[in-house]
Chain A
Amino acid sequence: MKIKNTLMLLGLLAVSPAVFAATGIAFVHGTGKQTNALADYWTSEFVNSVRQGIPVPNNYTVINCDFDQYMWEEAAAGCLATQLNSFIQAKNIDDLILLTHSNGGNVVRWILSNPTWDSRYPAVIKATSRVIALAPSSGGTPLADAVNQGNVFETTLGWLLGYGSNAVKQQQVGWMANYNNTWLYGTSGRPSLGKPFEVVVGSDVDSAIWDSDSYCAGYQYQVALETTQNWLDSCSDGFLNCSSQKAAGTVWFTDKQKTRGQEPLSHQQSRRACFNLDTLIRNHI
C-alpha cells in the first residue's frame, strides 16, 4: 500500500507543472510604450538566441509596458510586475533572470528597492535570481536634461509632441541622483539591491560610414553623434555616459572586453545581436 501511494505521488509530480520549479528569462525593454517589443525593440534574432541559454528555452517572456511613465507608475512598474507574475505562475518560475535594457534597469531597480510599494512586487523579487542590465541608465543622461530645458509649455506638453515624457524627465541626471539617494538601491553608499545586478557597459560608438560594423543597428549620422558628444564623456555609448551605466550594481563587462573584434556597443546595439552580444549572454546564463 505504501509503495502504491508513493508511485501515485510520483506520477502526480510528473504531470503537475506546479511541482517542479524552473529557470525563466524576461526581456525588459527601455524607455517607450511597447506593444510588440519582440519585433520593435529587441528583434527575434536576439531573443531567440539568448533564450537558448536556459534549460527550457520556451520559458521566456518579452515584456510590453508603458515605460514613457515614471518608473513607479502603474503603467510602468505595475505593468511589469503583473506581466512577470503571470509568467512566474504560468511557468512555475523560481529562478528568474531579468534582462533589461536602458531605462528598463531603473524600473526593475524600483521594484527590487521598494517591495512594500505594491503587493505584487514581493513575488517578483522572491523569484528573481539575477538581473543582467544592458546599458542601464542608472545615473541618467545629460541628453534628457537637454530635451527638458525650456519654457513652461515644453515639459507640460512634451508628451504630446513626442518627447519630454515623464520617463525622460526622470532620467535627467539630477533627478536620477535624487532617486538614487532616496528610493533606489544599488548605487554607491546605498543599500544593496539584494540580487546581482550585472551591467554590460557600452563605451563608444562606431559610426564611420565606411565601417560596416556601424550598420549593426548603428548610427547613420556621424555629425549628429559629434553634436551629442558635447553633453557626453569620452566614454559613452552615444546616449549614456559609462559612469551612468556603472552607477548601480557591478560591471559584468565593458563592451570591448568581450565583443567580437573588440567592437564597442552603441546604445542601440546593446539590445541587438551585434558582435556576439547575444552569444555572450546566452553562455553567461
Chain B
Amino acid sequence: MPPFTLRTLSKAVSLVIFASLLGACQDDSPTPEPQKEASPMYAKGLTLAAPTQSDLVDTNIASPTLAPINTSTDYVSFITPLYGEYQASQPVLEQASQSDEYWLNVTGAELNAGVQLNLSQAGSLVRIAPRGDVSTGALMHADAVAPERVQIQRIGQTPQGKNASPQATESLVKSLVSADALASAGLADDSSALQMSEKATAGEYRLQVSQPLVAKANYLVNVKEKGSPYQLSIKAPSAIAADAQTVGVKLALSQSDNQFAPKAKLKQADGTEQALAMVKQGDEWQALVPADLPLASSNAGLSEIEVTVQTQVDGRPVLRTVKTAFKSYVNSASIKPEVLTIWDKGVPNQVNFELTVAEAGRFGLSGVLTGTNAEGQKVAIMRTQAATWLTPESPKLKLMFDPKLIQASGLQPPFELNELELQDQGQMARLSFQANALVLTR
C-alpha cells in the first residue's frame, strides 16, 4: 500500500480509491458502505496541528528490547459517550513523594553483633523484617525475630549534649509486636516491631538481637518516625526513556538547609538493585545511569529510584529513605501528521492514521471528539479508543466516531479531536500526547 497522498485528495474522492483506503485499515468492525450515487460519504485528507511545547511528541523511534506484555492481534474499537463542557485533561509527567522513615539491609550476624540506629524523635517505630536469600543457590528465608529478644540501648550523647547513660530496653520500648500480630493487621511479611517510648528521645541507639540468627540471613531494619518534621521529599519524572543517561531528581529535607550527599539506587520491578552516582546541578540532582545498566528488566511493573540521605539537623541525627516510581520505555512509534478523515452526511465518521513503527507490536490510539455549542464553547461528545497489531509494513489504525452521538448532541462544527494519545500496549507505555490534535474541517 503506497503512502497517503492526502493533500492531493479532492473532497469527492472516487469510490474505487475510497474503498481501497477503507480496506487498508486493519479492522474487522463494520465500515460504512459508500452510496452508489450522490454519496453522502467522502474522504478528506487533513494534517494534525503542530505540536505545542506542552505536547509529548517524539518522532525519533527505536525498537523495544524487552518482551511485550500484550501480544493480542485483535482490532478493538470502543466509544464512550461524553457530555458537558469539555474539560481538558493533561498528562502528569512528574511524581512526588515524601518520607519520614528509613530502612537498612543488614545480616543476621550484624543484628546479633548490634547495629546503630539513628532516631530523630521520641516514640519512633523500629521494625525488623526477615528477607529472602538465594546466595547459596536455594531460597533461604530468614527466621522472624522474636521482639522480646531485641535490645535497644542509647549510645553517645543526647541532643542537649549530656552524656547518656545506658538505659534498659524496657524503659525505652513502649510495646512489642510479634510477626503473627502484625500479619493480622496487614503487614504480612514476618515483621516484628518495637514501638519506642517517649523516653527514647532523639539520638543514636544500638539495636541488638539476642536470638541466634543465621549469620548470612538477610534482614530489613525499618525506622518509621510518624509526624516527624524532617521529611525527605523527592520529585522525578513518571516516565523515563530507556536510553536516558541521567535522571533529574529534586530532593528536599524539610526543616533543614544543610547540604547533604544523597545515595541513590535503581530498583527494577524484579527487585534487582544497582547503585547510582548522584551529581548536583543547580537546584536539582542528576542520577547517573551507567551505560550498560537497563532501567527496567521487564515491561511489567515499574522501576524505582531510591534515595537515602543522612545528615544532622539541630544536633539530631536524621536519616531518611525515599523512593519514586517510574515507567521506563522506548519510543517505539510515532503518528504521521497526515491523516484521512471519512465523513458521512456531513459529520465525521472516522480518522485513519498512519504510524511509523519500529517493530511489530500492539498499539493503541485514543482521543476526545468535541463539537461547538451555540455559545461557541467546546463540548465533549465522545471518547474514542482503538488498538490493533501493527507492523512497519502495515502501520494503519483508525479511530471511529459514532455519528448518532454527534447528531444527538446538536453540536456544530468545528469538530475537534483532542487528547490524542498513542500507547504501546506491549510496553504498557504512553508514547505521545497531543492536547489539540486535529480540527475536523469538511
Q: Which residues of A contact B (CB under 8 A)?
A: 70, 72-73, 115-119, 121-122, 125, 141, 143, 145-147, 149-158, 160-164, 166, 169-170, 172-175, 177-178, 181-183, 189-192, 194, 219-221, 223-231, 238-239, 267
Contacts and interface: CB of A to CB of B under 8 A. Distances in A.
B285 interface: no
Nearest to A177: B95
Contact of B132 (A70, A147, A158, A238): A158
B272 interface: yes
A161 B74 CA distance: 37
A228 B273 contact: no
B244 to A, nearest CB: 17
A147 B188 contact: yes
Given A72-B69, A223-B177, 19 more contacts: A72-B70, A119-B72, A143-B186, A143-B187, A149-B129, A150-B220, A151-B218, A151-B220, A153-B271, A155-B270, A156-B132, A163-B189, A172-B325, A174-B324, A175-B325, A219-B184, A224-B182, A226-B175, A227-B127
B175 A223 contact: yes
A72 B428 contact: yes
A153 B218 contact: yes
Interface in B258-287: 269-273
Interface string B281-323: 0000000000000000000111010000000000000000001
Interface in B224-242: 224, 226, 238-239
A122 B384 CA distance: 12
A219 B300 CA distance: 34
B222 interface: yes
Given A158-B132, A181-B91, A230-B125, A146 B187 contact: yes
Contacts of B133: 153
B250 to A, nearest CB: 15
13 contacts: A72-B428, A141-B186, A143-B186, A147-B187, A150-B129, A151-B218, A174-B97, A178-B327, A194-B80, A224-B187, A226-B195, A230-B195, A239-B185
A147 B139 contact: no
Residue among A70, A221, A229, A230 having the largest count of chain B Cβ atoms under 10 Å: A230
Contacts of B300: 70, 73, 166
A160 B175 contact: no
Contact of B125 (A72, A119, A170, A227): A227
B193 A227 contact: yes
A239 B125 contact: no
Interface of B: 69-70, 72, 74, 76-78, 80-82, 89-92, 95, 97, 103, 105, 125, 127, 129, 131-134, 139, 141, 175-177, 181-182, 184-191, 193, 195, 218, 220, 222, 224, 226, 238-239, 269-273, 300-302, 304, 323-327, 364, 366, 368, 383, 385-387, 425, 428, 430
Contact of B238 (A151, A154, A182): A182
Contacts of A125: 78
B325 A238 contact: no
Contacts of B78: 115-116, 121-122, 125
B184 A224 contact: yes
B103 A149 contact: yes
A153 B188 contact: no
B131 A151 contact: yes
A152 B271 contact: yes
A182 B327 contact: yes
B97 A173 contact: yes
Residue among A121, A157, A158, A194 having the largest count of chain B Cβ atoms under 10 Å: A157
A116 B364 contact: yes
Nearest to B430: A182
Contacts of A173: 97
A238 B76 contact: no
B182 A227 contact: yes
A155 B162 CA distance: 43
A117 B428 CA distance: 10
A57 B38 CA distance: 54
Contacts of A194: 80-81, 383
Nearest to B239: A182
Contacts of B304: 174
Contact of B302 (A141, A146, A175, A231): A175
Contact of A169 (B97, B224, B301): B301
B301 A70 contact: yes
B218 A163 contact: no
Contacts of B222: 146, 149
A151 B273 contact: yes
B119 to A, nearest CB: 13
A122 B189 contact: no
Contacts of B430: 182
A147 B327 contact: no
Contacts of B270: 155-156
B181 A116 contact: no
Nearest to B93: A181
Contact of A178 (B80, B105, B191, B302): B302
Contact of B185 (A117, A182, A224): A224
Nearest to B73: A119
Given A117-B387, A119-B76, A182-B430, A153 B189 contact: no
A154 B89 CA distance: 38
A228 B186 contact: yes
A26 to B, nearest CB: 20
A169 B387 contact: no
A83 B326 CA distance: 32
B385 A267 contact: no
B186 A191 contact: no
A116 B79 CA distance: 10
Contacts of A119: 72, 74, 76
A143 B187 CA distance: 6
Nearest to B322: A174
A154 B132 contact: yes
Nearest to B227: A230
A191 B72 CA distance: 25
Nearest to A125: B78
Q: Closest 9 A-B residue pairs measured CB to CB?
A: A155-B271, A116-B387, A115-B78, A224-B185, A224-B181, A174-B325, A221-B181, A150-B220, A147-B189
Residue among B80, B91, B103 having the largest count of chain A Cβ atoms under 10 Å: B80
Residue among A149, A156, A190 having the largest count of chain B Cβ atoms under 10 Å: A149
A169 B269 CA distance: 9
B89 A116 contact: no
B29 to A, nearest CB: 11
B132 A157 contact: yes
